[in-house]
Every structure is written in structure tokens, then in C-alpha cells.
Amino acid sequence: MAHGYHYATASRTTAPTVELEDGTEITLPTRWVICSTCEGEGAHSHHVGCLTSDDFNQWDHDEIDMYFDGGFDRGCSVCEGTGKMLEVAQDRCKPEVLEAYLLDLQYEREDAALYAAERRMGA
């Protein structure tokens, strides 16, 4: 199963690299996929949050129309507004490259979990 390119500090529209144990830096093979955040639109209104019927009841017709016409949308920061992003083509990676990439993903997830725990503690 392929994993999306999720390095927090890197662009998802340029091919990721991984450093092997011998110091060699390899550009990973990739394929373009539809961005799962904006679903290929290049923009979304996720920043608005979840809206309930009570929220809509407080809006006038113009505000509701504006919402459904995309008036609250912002450019997608995940795909940089392109509607697509690169996914590592794991089936095209050499075994040692795939192992290094998956290890990097594991470290990234562990770091993200640590930072999330620190934020919950107010650090």
C-alpha cells in the first residue's frame, strides 16, 4: 500500500529524498495523486470548521450562497493550490531505499506524536 508524502516541512509538490546509511541521497520515485485535503479543487473551507443547521439559521441567504459558491474557500496549503500531490511509488523503490523511507516516516510520526503531547501539556 502506498503512503502519501507527509513530511511536515517539505513541499508535497516536489519529489522527496531519503538519505541511505552510506550518506547517499536518493530521490524517491513518485506519482501524482489527487490531493485528499481539497479533493483536487486546489482550495477548501476546512478552516471554517464544522457548521451546524443552527449556524446556517443565523446566516442570511447571501452568506449561505457565498459559502456554497466557495466564498469562504482558501487555497490548499497541502497541495499548494494545484489539486494534486506527489505520492511515493513504493512499488518502484529498491528495497534498501524503501526501508530508509519507511524508517523516516516512522521517525516523523514519532516526532509528531511527541510534539502533540507537548502541546497538550502546554509546553
Report whether pLDDT(110) > 90: yes
Q: Which residue has the cell 447571501?
A: 62
Report whether pLDDT(2) > 70: no
Mean pLDDT, residues 43-57: 75
Model confidence pLDDT, tens digit, residues 3-40: 444 444 345 778 888 888 888 899 999 999 999 888 89
Query: Taking a C-beta distance cutoff of 8 angstroms, is the pair 76, 41 a contact?
Result: yes
Measure the CA–CA gap between 34 and 111, rounded to whole angstroms: 26
Count other Cβ atoms within 10 Å, centred on residue 116: 10
Q: Look at the pTM and tell me if it is higher than 0.85.
A: no
Mean pLDDT, residues 37-52: 78
pLDDT value of residue 48 = 67
Model confidence pLDDT, tens digit, residues 54-103: 877 888 888 888 777 777 778 888 888 899 988 899 999 999 999 999 99
Measure the CA–CA gap between 16 and 86, rounded to whole angstroms: 9
